[in-house]
Amino acid sequence: MCGIVAALSRRNIVPILIEGLKRLEYRGYDSAGIAVLNGRLQRLRSTGRVVELEKIAVGLSAPVGIAHTRWATHGVPSERNAHPHVSGGVSVVHNGIIENHDAMRENLRGKGYEFASDTDTEVIAHLVHEHLRHGATLFGAVRKATDELQGAYAIAVIHESDPELIVVARHGAPLLLGLGAGENFAASDASALIQVTQRIIYLEDGDCAELSQSSVKIVDASGRPVERQIHISQLSAASVELGQYKSFMQKEIFEQPMAVANTLEMVTSANFVVPELFGARAAQIFRETDAVLILACGTSYHAGMVARYWLEALAGLPCNVEIASEYRYRESVPNPRCLVIAISQSGETADTLAALNFAKARGQENSLAICNVPESALIRGSELRFLTRAGPEIGVASTKAFTTQLASLILLAMVLAKLRGRLGKQRESEMLNSLRHLPAALTRVLGTESQIIKWAEYVAPHRHALFLGRGVHWPIAMEGALKLKEISYIHAEAYAAGELKHGPLALVDQDMPVFAIAPNDELLEKLKSNLQEVSARGGKLFVLADQHVKFSDGSGVEVIRMPDHAGMLSPILHTIPLQMLAYHAAILRGNDVDKPRNLAKSVTVE
């Protein structure tokens, strides 16, 4: 949801800002802009990608500047709505949503301010300008302005009359500082600064900071000066670069064996699982737990749905899985002994954070975050935590984050089952053994790519597709459908296969490709009957089946054999072909798989 980068140095910072924006493009990519101070305020903006901005910024040079890549919320994607926004000599970039912008707009209009855009951000520029006019310093003006803002923001502000300073502030949207030698930076995430520094300060909610070339001054929400810890970012340039791959999504699909191996590192050489994998107080909290509530959105929600099957079957714990944006507005019945699990790749998803806070406010205080980003708001706001170690996920469509979430969730189910006396030594050691073999099994599934490409060629010209699964593979069918629609723009729906005859079967004809996940489990025979219903209506079936299961190719049925049957881990393996199917269908349709239309990676708005 928008990316911000700001820099202040003795050298020309324009290339640093452009490079930073390119790394932040996953957060939004419908327009980009830059404002610099080089004797005067100069602003350049363009619609579309950062490369368009780069073209018009050739020859621009300055020691101080702010830049932005946008995911439109207020106002269509256009040059006039692109950031930075200006008011006199003030220029502002903003990530988030200002909820009281209408009232402020009226108020500022009354004071003679004119608005050049439809954005909520422009009120911030005018507000800061207004406070400067009344004699505040730039820092004071930003503090006063943010006091009046309701909603979420991360902002960076420069002012023509203060060419030595950048002021930044955050509340409810991520922002960090990067410390250099005789130069300082700010950005939405550390990847934007990887080229200039590894020394990072994560700002807390309510913080406001003033950056000069040689100093950083931070105050907290109450205005008290504070020292925030300096972290050394572990991000490597290679982890955010494409290398041999054509797109980040392709790279991230193929990184999954390594990502899962890294996530499971702490248990693969162990003979048993321990609650402390999830935090120092985990044993005590897990012992108090008599139910689980999972909160998440999108792909992370699908991980939660898979986890429900595992938690109920293995640990015997009742489990509810809720779409975060729905849960937070529902009068559900709280249970203080419930463990609330928030699952999020980014750890910044506004709906998930708000749902977690809502659950806590209702007396459900035991929380666990499963997240891929250390120092994210979710990690900081949860009692217990498990970091998936997928590495930076840059493609907008979540891939390796999902499979690493599943790997963490099966561990959690094992730990809870063990504490509840439901996981004997033998079973524990068998499961650990399967986890040890999981990365190799994932590599073998990636080997089905050439067969998947044929399926992709079939589906690419179609407008609709159905995905079917049963039991724990139903959420995997949902994930397959989500992947296909978000990057190929083919309308796809997923159903629990038994539901087909209750309505969606009416959609099936020769133009409706139907993809079925058919592992060799206790539901296989039931699923086969459901698939007969499809064949009988002329539907074209594509089946992911295990070796040695009787499924014959031909007469409207195509079968790809999964190299391994992984028992309980089977949903993790079955995800991979569906990711590859969506990827290749999107490529065949000429789409930008990393930046699908209308979407952004971190959804930091409601």
Whole-number Å distance between alpha carbons of 98 and 119: 9
Least distance CB 398 / ligand F6R (angstroms): 3
64 binds ligand F6R (CB under 6 A): no
DSSP codes joined into one string, 298-335: HHHHHHHHHHHHHIIIII---EEEEEHHHHTTS-----
Q: Select 149 or 603, whichever has its Cβ closest to ligand F6R.
A: 603
Helix (H) or strand (E) holding 54: helix 50-56
Member of 356, 397, 431, 545 binding ligand F6R (CB under 6 A): 397
Q: Report how far apart, in Å, the C-alpha atoms of 16 and of each of 66, 320, 455 are.
A: 10, 46, 43
Member of 298, 392, 475, 571 binding ligand F6R (CB under 6 A): 298
Q: Cβ(504)–Cβ(493) under 8 Å? A: yes
Which residue in 2, 297, 338, 371 is the catalytic one? 2
Helix (H) or strand (E) holding 542: strand 540-546
Least distance CB 358 / ligand F6R (angstroms): 16
Is the peptide bond preceding residue 475 cis, with omega within 30 degrees of 0? no
Of 308-367, binders to ligand F6R (CB under 6 A) are 344-346, 349, 352
Alpha carbon 548 to its chain centroid, in Å, reads 38
SS3 for 107?
Answer: helix
300 binds ligand F6R (CB under 6 A): yes
DSSP codes joined into one string, 113-149: ----SS-STHHHHHHHHHHHHTT--HHHHHHHHHHH-
Q: Select 142 or 152, whichever has its Cβ closest to ligand F6R.
A: 152
Known catalytic membership, residue 601: yes
Q: Select 81 or 404, whichever has its Cβ closest to ligand F6R.
A: 404
Which region among 132-140, 295-303, 455-463, 579-587 touches ligand F6R (by CB under 6 A)?
295-303
Member of 191, 398, 403, 530 binding ligand F6R (CB under 6 A): 398
Least distance CB 219 / ligand F6R (angstroms): 29
Which region among 257-265, 298-306, 424-432, 516-524 touches ligand F6R (by CB under 6 A)?
298-306
403 binds ligand F6R (CB under 6 A): no
Closest CA to 16 of 52, 86, 65, 71: 65
Q: How many degrees, rounded to 5, is the angle at CA 141 between CA 139 and CA 143?
A: 70
Q: Select 323 or 524, whichever has its Cβ closest to ligand F6R.
A: 323
252 binds ligand F6R (CB under 6 A): no
Least distance CB 602 / ligand F6R (angstroms): 6
Which residue in 400, 483, 540, 601 is the catalytic one? 601
DSSP state of 554: B
Closest CA to 458 of 344, 528, 540: 540
Residue 3, φ and ψ in degrees, nearest 5: -125, 140
Member of 486, 546, 564, 594 binding ligand F6R (CB under 6 A): 486
Active-site residues, by number, are: 2, 601
* Binding region for ligand F6R (CB under 6 A): 297-300, 344-346, 349, 352, 397-398, 482, 486, 603
